[in-house]
Structure 1
């Protein structure tokens, strides 16, 4: 009997604790987002607020379900067969979170692919199918009310919903990788940013897909216990944290991949060594560093007199480069095929 308790109520309790921990991480990420990116676009704020709200609902449902099993029915050994309504609603809530996250990534892929509906259409279709299967599963759980009966009649239904979710994750990750890898040519800091985003995309997609596949495996192999259910409790948490991590990493990228040297613009006329006046374009060019951080090889030597005044603009470039991250760098796509041309700072503005 103790072994059954560990694999049923124990597995559900562990899954609940992990879910609560991941929910706390999401809450901290939400706080950081609104603290750091207070001036972000309204659509991002609404997305973050919606994800946080649905995550709170999901956490309450999970904790209530475990409370029903462990506390309210403490002495009832047969309670593990019962499906409480909160457990069934958890399935639907997970599907809503998954749809929200997949919609965000599908929208980004749609912009990166130049409105390629042949790619984003299937992603949207699979996401809707996933929600339909999940809501059908919720209804059938509320009707059957017991796990043995549900596993006998609707094993394929629950498995199909998880399988569609895993396939959608793979398509989204592959699509993002495909379009991001084309941005690795050209400006060196941009290459480093893209490399980091690609690694994060692969790891992020692999993690969510692995959790879903693990839940499928335990559901098919051991449907009589709650190991699959404990894993299922954490699925929506990984999806939610995925979006918040993508948005909050912008601050790290902003400080990691910005020029340390300011740009100087002379406000008075200067002269060359031979006494001739330097053209304004040449003065600006001489003070713009190349990708290696050194002055341009075409720079003209300038004799700086005591009355010269320079104005340095440092924050403009830092802001523009930082803002490339939430847009998945698609604004640079038009420059990715120009690897043999120099990229001026003005080209990074959008």
Structure 2
């Protein structure tokens, strides 16, 4: 009891679990926006989004159960935390499934964009390798007797999983950005701006997941015997991956609204262009007579009092 420090065991899991719940709420909102805005998307893309939200729903339930176990059920008996809760063991393969689905989507996008078979197949092999490692780690985690000993024994498999995920994200990000860069050959300002924005979005979403995977691998090597920080970030990781996928899909709405149009005017994606050729409203003849009467009255008044400046109509509007 004297050697137990809740700040390094319960703290990271609790903080990251709450952040994971918040990100799941964001993922649910993005999913609703996706199905509301892109009802005509291909059934395969809709199935991908549905799979992500359903898997993350199960992951969310596991996270809540883990928080309950670590903060309520084991209260006063911290030695029970030497073994990970069963809900946390189940959250690990669900996390891997979410990342696997998203990485498969990006590998398919890379193939459609570059028409290069080698890179997508290589990325998919890395993702499959990581998923197999995750399943093996999960099977052994259920029968573990000590979390520190488990981390030492499964060091290789866990590191392979993290590094393979990070390499897959990095390759797909660079490949998609390079493919978009090669297609930036149009001199139309709107088209070039659109491609530049797609490249920026690809790098933003891809680097976030890659950095998180490399961070997990580093923290697991350095901190596995000191605290549960790597476990907390592991719980947070799939929610970040799912949100990046939905963000990249929902951003197409901005491209749809600001797509370049044919015509004599140049449309910028960052501005809303209003046509200057709109028909001007017809002048009211009563207003014309009224203005004419006011002007005649001011001229007469000026003739009587030449020192007084006339009051212009625009000054009182």
- Provide the residue aligned with 1:30 in structure 2: 31
How do 1:61-100 residues align onto structure 2 when only pairs under 5 Å count?
A: 61-100=62-101
1:254 aligns with 2:256: yes
Structure 2 length normalisation: TM-score? Answer: 0.80
Higher relative contact order (CA closer than 8 Å, sequence separation 6+) = 2
Q: State the distance in 2 between where 1:2 and 1:234 align.
A: 27
- Provide the residue aligned with 1:217 in structure 2: 218
- Provide the residue aligned with 2:134 in structure 1: 134
- Provide the residue aligned with 1:234 in structure 2: 236
5+ residue gaps in structure 1? 264-287, 294-350
Q: State the distance in 1 between where 2:213 and 2:119 align.
A: 22
- Provide the residue aligned with 2:300 in structure 1: none
Structure 1 length normalisation: TM-score? Answer: 0.72
Q: Is the 8 A contact 2:17 2:64 kept in 1?
A: yes
1:176 aligns with 2:176: yes
1:117 aligns with 2:117: yes
- Provide the residue aligned with 1:203 in structure 2: 204
Q: Is the 8 A contact 1:26 1:244 kept in 2?
A: yes
Higher mean C-alpha deviation, range 37-46 or range 159-168: 37-46
- Provide the residue aligned with 1:143 in structure 2: 143
Q: Is the 8 A contact 2:17 2:67 kept in 1?
A: yes
Rg (Cα) greater in structure: 2
1:256-290, Cα deviation, whole Å (9 max, x unpaired): 3343xxx7xxxxxxxxxxxxxxxxxxxxxxxx426
1:139-186, Cα deviation, whole Å (9 max, x unpaired): 111122420220221112111111111111111111111101012221
Q: Is the 8 A contact 1:169 1:209 kept in 2?
A: yes
Q: Is the 8 A contact 1:183 1:191 kept in 2?
A: no
- Provide the residue aligned with 1:11 in structure 2: 12
Q: In the TM superposition, what is the alpha-carbon distance from 1:3 to its structure 2 partner? A: 8.0
- Provide the residue aligned with 1:164 in structure 2: 164
Q: In the TM superposition, what is the alpha-carbon distance from 1:34 to its structure 2 partner? A: 1.1
SS, match of residue 144 in structure 1: coil
SS, match of residue 5 in structure 2: helix
5+ residue gaps in structure 2? 269-317
Moved over 4 A (4+): 290-293
| Aligned alpha-carbon RMSD (Å) | 1.8
